[in-house]
Each structure stands twice: as structure tokens, then as C-alpha cells.
Structure 1
Amino acid sequence: MNEPTSSPPGAVRLNKRMAELGICSRREADAWIEQGWVKVNGQVAPMGVKVTPADRVEVDKKAQGHQATQVTIILHKPMGYVSGQAEDGHEPAVALINPRTHWREDPSSNRFSPPQLRGLAPAGRLDIDSVGLLVLTQDGRVARQLIGEDSGIEKEYLVRVTWSPYSGASGGPGAQGDVTTDVQRVFPPAQLARLRHGLSLDGQALKPARVDWQNPEQLRFVLKEGKKRQIRRMCEQVGLKVVGLKRIRIGRVVLGNLPAGQWRYLGADERF
């Protein structure tokens, strides 16, 4: 749809501009505009108004105070939990966020309270049969940083694999059995190179990845994108089967020694 002719060149909706400036998410911007907490060039902004980079956007301290109470949580997701909404009888990961599962060694001064569950949502997915670091946040800025279209934040995984050397391109079961030990020794270097760069999913070429052997049965993947079941599907294309997948890092935040099924707050001094 074309912009109305009355809109000045480069004008975008205020909520989009606020998100681009890193002030908040679009959803938060709409809520703040509705509350009358946002001014454009000194005037209270109406819903749906469009702005240009030359316009001055100001946010009331009430909105900033509301934002300061929002939490971001680091969870060590165990197997059997889904990242988002409950499905097929499986509980969502957010069900693990309660006082009993709060890591005793959490250095944060935050204390759990029920309002912290309001709007708490995963910033990215982790499959039901995968484990490791899952971020849940109330803060739209964090969500946009991790899963926005322009996000380039690294995500690191340890991936245990077996290999079907006779599986062909389909990645199906090998006719002469899978290699389950010392996979590194027999897996072709050319196929490892394809994992790093050269594969496509859903008709789109994947971004280059860092893929190296961590030990003879385990690969270390570092990705800057997150398509659905991406690592498993990448491995299938080169005859590998994933038998264990654990995310250990997102950006500069690491899983560390956080126990499975427990969580901690993202520290005030931590940045992705």
C-alpha cells in the first residue's frame, strides 16, 4: 500500500520509529501513546501519527519507570518443555518460572513477584527435544535485539551427532548402519565445509556459520540466524543425525553452571 500523499518523505509510524531508536517495542510504544506518555515536537502524540527523523520524540518518565520494572530471565530449559504456548500436552517453559526453581546462586538483587510473569515471553525458540539457554523477557527492546529482522547476535550450540555414510542426500537411515563413535574421523571434510556455508532451507541460502568439532562425537555450531529446527535440518542434509542439542550462549550471555530446570535474572550489568 502506498503512503498517503500528505505524508512527508521518509515518514513512518511513530511506534516503528520508537522501536528503530531502541526506545521500546512497537507494542510498548502503542501502549505509551495511548497513555499520553509520548510527545512529538512538544505535543502529545495521537495514535497512528507519522514522524520523520527530523521530528523530536520525547517519552514521559512514567513510561521509563514502567520499563525499569520489566525483567529478563535466563532459563536452562530441560527436555520436554516447549518454548512458547503449550501444545500437544507439553508444558511451556514459562511454567518453570516460580520461586522454587529460582537458582540459589543468582547474583541479581531482584526478587520474584507474580507481576513478572505478565507478558513474559520467549525471545527465540528452543525445540522440545533441545536443552539449554532460553531467554524470556517482558522487555520489547531485548526481544527486538534477539529476534528482530536485523538481529545479528550469535547463538552457540553443542550438538551430539551420529552419521549415516550411505544415506545419500535425503539424510535417511544408512543401509549399513550409523557411525556413532569417533564420527569426526570418518565424516568427510567437504561435508563439514557445506555445514559452514553452502546449504539452503526453505528455498533460502543460509548465512555462513562457524562449525567445528568439539570432540569426536560433538560439533560446535555458532549461528547468526534461527530458522525452525535449523541445526537438525542442516545436519540431515549432510547425513548427520542430531542425538543431543544444547544451547550454551546467546551473544555475551552464557548458560554457565545454571542447573537444568532453574532460572536466574539477567543482571543489570549484563548485555547481549
Structure 2
Amino acid sequence: MTEPLRLSKRMSELGLCSRREADEWIARGWVRVDGQVVSELGSKVLPHQKVTVERQAAAQQAKRVTVLLHKPMGYVSGQAEDGYRPAVVLVTPENRWDEDKAPLQFHGSQLKSLVPAGRLDIDSTGLLVLTQDGRIAKQLIGEDTSIEKEYLVRVQYQRGPRLPDAELKRLNHGLSLDGKKLLPAKVSWQNEDQLRFVLREGKKRQIRRMCELVGLKVLGLKRVRIGRVKLGNLPPGKWRYLGSEEGF
């Protein structure tokens, strides 16, 4: 017999929303199971049961924004720490990119629950996604995400004149961190002192630690793409909205 699941978990699995959003919608009476309103948190459903949401939930979700920021060095991705400011403080009307084509007006309510979907180290730059939409957060940082992230990494080899080809192969597949084998990566030379990394996972300081294992020192790290969304010409410290026609 199939085991019942928490309704919020099932809604997340179906891609309707995040678990936190699901609990909020359930509490408001916006969720139906087989046509019946379910408003008790912790309720369970069977996988074959039909889950639907009221129009108010879809309308609320449509108002949620996703922001693409070119994070400069010196800002942390999430909560303020060690005296450093979080990247979200850069999301102001003054810092909006002049070339942003999105027809949205900036409003202070867009900063509420605007959280990073993934991280960039304090000393890394490039594309950082901040979103109010739990579906996008799950897509980018969920356990089973397959979204590629691309980085340009300026390096210096510490053990000789040039990184041996065998070590480049290990960067592509053959390294472990924290006792676990890393997923295959795509690592290639962009020019004589810069590597291009394409990863499908994001362990803490992963690229820097991978480089250390093969004798490379990272001098600069910039994320230039997440899935199909590119950093493009977005200047450092500026942001724009994710367009309605764009997807990761």
C-alpha cells in the first residue's frame, strides 16, 4: 500500500510551490484535495489524490519577483556575517540596471522574503539569484537539481610551470571533498591563466577546494551563467529582474 505524504511535501513535489508556501496556503484555506478544502497543517495525502490551489494562491505567486544581481567582492550572499553586508542591500531603485527591460516597478514589498537561491563566497563575483519564489529556489538548490553553473576562474599553478594534463583530468572527474566523490564537472582552459568550470553541484567553496587539491591557487572567481540565464553585460553592483520569458 502506498504511504501517505505530508500535503506540503506533496505540493512541493508537484512543483506547485515551496513547502513553506504550501503551509501558508493551507492555513489560509487555499488548498483542496479531491475538491475538498484542507486547512489543517500537517495533513497527509495519498499520491493518487488530486491537489489543487485556489486562484488567490496563483495570484499571490505571480507577484513574487526574482532578481539577478552582479555581486561584487566584499558582500556575503545570505545573512550578514563578520561585519560584512548581505548582497540584498544592493537591491535598491538606484542600483537597478538602466538596460533592464522588465516592465516591473520596484516596490519595497519585493524585498520581503527575497532570499539567495545558492551562494557566492565573499571573495567571488558574478551572477547571484535572489528570489521570493520557492519554486525557483527548489529548482536551483534542491537536492536533485541538474542546473549547470558556469564560472571563470583565474588561477596560478604552485607546483611547476604548468598544470599537468593528468591533473586537469582529475578536476573534470576524480576528486573527492568531505569523503564524497564529486559529480563529473567540465573544466577546460579559457586562456593561459583562466579555467572555465561548469558544475552541477555547489559544495561550500567547492571550486577553490578543488583547485587546492591539484596545486592551483585561485586569484579570481566569477560566476557567469546559471542554467540558461547568463550574467551578460550586467555591471558589478547592479541588478535586474528575471524576465517573464526567461527560465533557468
- TM-score of Structure 1 vs Structure 2, range by shorter chain: over 0.9
SS in 1 for 2:197: strand
Matched, 1:152 2:146: yes
Structure 1 distance, partners of 2:72, 2:46, is: 46
% same residue? 65
Does 2:213 align with 1:237?
yes
- CA displacement at 1:49 relative to structure 2: 1.1
Render the CA deviation track for 1:29-53: whole Å, top value 9, x for unaligned.
0000000000111111122111122
Correspondence for 1:266: 242
TM-score after normalising by structure 2 = 0.98
> Counterparts of 1:188 and 1:54 in 2: how far apart (Å)?
55
The residue that corresponds to 1:94 in the other structure is 88
- What is the letter of the counterpart of residue 70 of structure 1? R
CA apart distance, 1:9? 2.1
TM alignment of 1:1-272, pairs within 5 A: 9-45=2-38, 46-165=40-159, 186-272=162-248
Q: RMSD of the alignment, in Å?
A: 0.8
Runs of 4+ aligned residues of structure 1 deviating over 4 Å after TM superposition are none
Instruction: State the SS of the aligned residue for 2:127.
Output: strand
- 1:271 CA drift (Å): 0.4
The total of aligned residue pairs comes to 247
Question: Which amino acid is the alignment partner of residue 81 of structure 1?
Answer: Y
**Aligned-partner Cα distance in 2 for 1:157–1:239:** 19
Report the structure number with the largest CA radius of gyration: 1
Deviation readout 1:123-171 (Å, 9 max, x if unpaired) = 00000000000000000000000000010100000000001116xxxxx
**Deviation digits for residues 165-222 of structure 1 (CA, Å, limit 9, x no counterpart):** 16xxxxxxxxxxxx5xxxxxx2100000000000000111000000000000000000
Contact 2:152 / 2:197 at 8 angstroms: preserved in 1? Answer: yes
Q: Distance in 1 between matches of 2:205 and 2:123?
A: 10
Query: Which ranges of structure 2 fall in alignment gaps of 5 or more residues?
Result: none
SS in 1 for 2:208: helix
Q: How much has 1:10 moved relative to structure 2?
A: 2.9
State the match for 1:176 in structure 2.
Answer: none
What per-residue deviation string (whole Å, max 9, x for no partner) do you get for residues 95-138 of structure 1?
00000000010010011000000000000000000000000000
CA contact (8 A) 2:126 2:231 kept: yes
2: CA distance, partners of 1:22 / 1:28: 11
**Paired amino acid for 2:192:** P
- The one-letter code matched in structure 2 to 1:224 is R
Q: Is the 8 A contact 2:127 2:225 kept in 1?
A: yes
* Residue ranges of structure 1 left out of the alignment (5+ in a row): 1-7, 167-178, 180-185
Distance 2:169 2:109 in 1: 48
Give the letter for the 1:260 counterpart: P
Secondary structure of the corresponding residue to residue 15 of structure 1? helix
Distance across 2 between alignment mates of 1:11 and 1:243:
51
Q: Which residue of 2 is the match for residue 174 of structure 1?
A: none
Residue matched to 1:183: none
What amino acid maps onto 2:13 in structure 1?
A: E
